[in-house]
Structure 1
Amino acid sequence: MTEVKRKGARSTKDIPADILAQLNRGEIETANLVEWLAVDQKLLLENLLKQHRRTDYLKPILSNIDQLKKQTVNTINEAIGTSLFEKATQNNDKYFLAIMANHTADLVRCWTTYTIGKNECLNITQALKKIQKFSADKHFGVREISWMAVRNKITVDLEKSIVILAEWTTNEDENIRRFATEATRPRGVWCEHIGAFKHNPVLALPILEPLKSDPAKYVQNSVANWLNDASKTQPDFVKELCERWDKESGTKETRYIIKKALRTIDKK
């Protein structure tokens, strides 16, 4: 029997009580952004740790959350993921990390991405190899958090990251192709900027060029947003690149990317 996909409520107040309870127990995935934002991550954490007899992890992790200067969905997500990694590492608890990585709840898998991003023992090659599974996750939230979790590693080792991510642009999975551009956006969303790409976006051409006519709208939007980011500091580069792509490609996919990429420039 094919599983019927839930549409999810349009507002938090419209989420049925039984659905919210299942979400907070980690029994089902969130169906949309409204549900994703509505999950009580601290309650979900408590339930997860109780289910797997790791309640000794709870108090120090809640303390780390309380110390956050600003508590948002993303800062709490990172704090929990980072703290779980620290606790599991201290206890050599690889079994629990494996449970998290394959958990039904998308937010638990989101936490898992930080066990990769915060692992100082992993070089960029190892980290990207491990994160690829999450970059291809079926859930939008996990895909978004996956690039945020390793973005700092990418920035620190940009040259090697470009080589690796350029290879990802030919992957048959559009989610993996999209990760290559979304993770490296010069300005990004909810994250620190990558100065090297803001000032010298030509460095990213090995990633951008293979995607200039990508068939997936999900990828097209990311490429366009990457270039729109760059246009705010290097408008001439973006205009010249778009002109060249228009001549070399001329497909509807490329035209879509170009139009969206130039939206900030066209407003001036």
Structure 2
Amino acid sequence: MKNEVRKGATRAVDIPRDILRALSLGELQCATLAECLAVDQAVLARTIFPALTAPALNAIDAACQLGVLKRMTHIGLAMLEDLGTEGIAQCQRHRADMARGWACFMIGAQPYLDVDVRLAAIYPLADDAHFGVREWAWMAMRPHLVQELPTAIAQLMLWTKDPSERVRRFACEVLRPRGVWCTHISALKHSPEQALPLLSALRSDPSVYVQDSVANWLNDAAKDQPAWVRGICDQWLENSQAAATRRICQRALRNLK
């Protein structure tokens, strides 16, 4: 019964109190987006790390009053400052998906890391079995990759060949021009062709998970550069008979008349 209720809970108010308590104590993993958003991260932090200092706890409490992305960013920074890099390993090993999400933002909060080093650190979290952790992974990396776009694209090209569909999807999702819950990437809104090597590498990917990401990337781009997106889809369809490519293009053009 609990599993049925959890699958149907799409709003925080629909989550049973015992489930919410277990989530906030790190005893369960989140089953829905609503559960991810409803976790009391201040309680969870105190449960997992009872030795956190008062300044860190104050920073976490303040962060819990912010929007979703800012909340995770500020908690990641507070934990990194208090726990150091060992805290990343502790969070990454924890069964609570939210703790592994903190690890993503702790990696994001580390200063002075080269793109390849930062991507190597986030790799296992980008390939996490939990849907929420995979989303936190790309959100935590996006600001850094945008700052070094050509280098990031070159590094992510290696990820497009990864055996894991989760990693291949990350290579596309992290640089969507508009994205979800994140700042738009102006450079890619104006010049989406910069990311064409990534998109082309995934244009016939057998995974629906990856196909949807590529299609959504192009759908984002079509809001600013519709002619470019139409041209790319025409080229792909002319040169490929793959069902995956047809599906991507159909979804990419869904909002264009």
Q: TM-score, normalised by structure 2?
A: 0.92
The answer to whether 1:249 aligns with 2:240 is yes
Q: Which amino acid aligns with 1:75?
A: K
Q: Which moved more, 1:28-37 or 1:119-128?
A: 28-37
Percent identity, aligned pairs only, is: 42
The answer to whether 1:37 aligns with 2:32 is no
Match of residue 86, structure 2, among 75, 87, 95 = 95
The answer to whether 1:193 aligns with 2:188 is no
Question: Which portions of structure 1, spanning 4 or more consecutive aligned residues, are displaced by more than 3 angstroms?
Answer: 12-18, 65-70
Please list, as runs of the form range in 1=range in 2, the aligned pairs for 1:211-226 lying within 5 A after superposition: 211-226=202-217
Distance 1:188 1:200, change over 3 A: same
| 1:70 Cα deviation after fit | 6.1
Contact 1:41 1:77 in 2 (8 A): no
The answer to whether 1:171 aligns with 2:162 is yes
| 1:228 Cα deviation after fit | 1.0
Residue 61 of structure 1 corresponds to which residue in structure 2? 56
Structure 2: runs of 5+ lacking an equivalent: none
The answer to whether 1:107 aligns with 2:104 is no
State the distance in 2 between where 1:245 and 1:40 align: 46
Contact 2:60 2:78 in 1 (8 A): no
Match of residue 154, structure 1, among 145, 169, 175 = 145
Please list, as runs of the form range in 1=range in 2, the aligned pairs for 1:125-164 lying within 5 A after superposition: 125-164=116-155
State the distance in 2 between where 1:249 and 1:118 align: 42
RMSD: 1.9
| 1:137 Cα deviation after fit | 0.4
Contact 1:81 1:115 in 2 (8 A): yes
Q: Deviations over 1:91-123 (max 9, x none)?
A: xxx433311111100001001111111111311
- Give the secondary structure class of the aligned counterpart of 1:138: coil
Contact 1:9 1:15 in 2 (8 A): no
The answer to whether 1:79 aligns with 2:74 is yes
| Count of residue pairs brought into register by the alignment | 253
Contact 1:41 1:76 in 2 (8 A): no
Q: TM-score, normalised by structure 1?
A: 0.88
| 1:235 Cα deviation after fit | 1.3
| 1:43 Cα deviation after fit | 1.0
| 1:14 Cα deviation after fit | 4.3
Distance 1:161 1:170, change over 3 A: same
- Give the secondary structure class of the aligned counterpart of 1:55: coil
